[in-house]
A = this chain, B = another copy of it.
Amino acid sequence: MDVNDEIRASGKRMTRTRRAVLSVLEQSQYPLSPTELYAQLKKHKVAIDLVTVYRNLVTLKELGLVTQLELHQEGQVRYEMREGRQHHHHIRCKSCGRIVDLLLCPLKKLTAVIEKETRFVVGDHSLEFSGWCPRCQ
């Protein structure tokens, strides 16, 4: 079942703007904020409103096609494609803002410890590093 089918299976429709949003996200090397995504779309001469970008991102997130991130000190949200990507985290440069994937996650064991200690049932976790990238050091 491809993206198109997944959208239609949920009763939603594959529209011109939806396709464009997905396309930009697929091509991006890093998670995009709604505003950045909007700027990319404009650059590619796609006629779309910022509000539509927001609404499409909400929809795609609900369908589980994209993942939403909130990086520290940014005051905005970012999205990245989920398609086949394994669970991962990010590191962000405090100087230039560059965001790089971290393909590791040390928290599986920790979750059990936390559940025992707090009696919470753990759902998600978010982990993010920040520092200075090679160029900015």
Q: Are B124 and A129 in contact (CB under 8 A)?
A: yes
Q: Are B114 and A129 in contact (CB under 8 A)?
A: yes
Cα–Cα distance between A88 and B115 once the two chains are bound (Å): 16
* A residues contacting the other copy or chain, number (CB 8 A): 35
* A89-137 interface with B by 8 A CB criterion: 91, 93-94, 100, 102, 104, 106-107, 110-111, 113-115, 117-134, 137
**Does A83 touch B at the CB level, under 8 Å?**
no
**Does A86 touch B at the CB level, under 8 Å?**
no
Contacts of A111 in B (CB 8 A): 129
| Distance from A88 Cβ to chain B, minimum over Cβ atoms (Å) | 12
- Give the B-binding residues of A (Cβ under 8 A): 70, 72-73, 91, 93-94, 100, 102, 104, 106-107, 110-111, 113-115, 117-134, 137
Instruction: Give the number of times this chain occurs in the complex, counting copies.
Output: 2
- Residue with the highest number of chain B CB atoms closer than 10 Å, among A106, A120, A125: A120
Cα–Cα distance between A33 and B119 once the two chains are bound (Å): 25
Q: Are B104 and A110 in contact (CB under 8 A)?
A: yes
Tell which of B123, B128, B137 touches A131, judged by Cβ atoms closer than 8 Å: B123
Q: Add 15 more A-B contacts to A100-B118, A121-B137, A125-B130 (CB < 8 A).
A: A70-B73, A72-B126, A91-B114, A94-B123, A102-B117, A104-B110, A106-B106, A115-B131, A119-B133, A120-B132, A124-B129, A124-B131, A125-B127, A126-B130, A127-B127
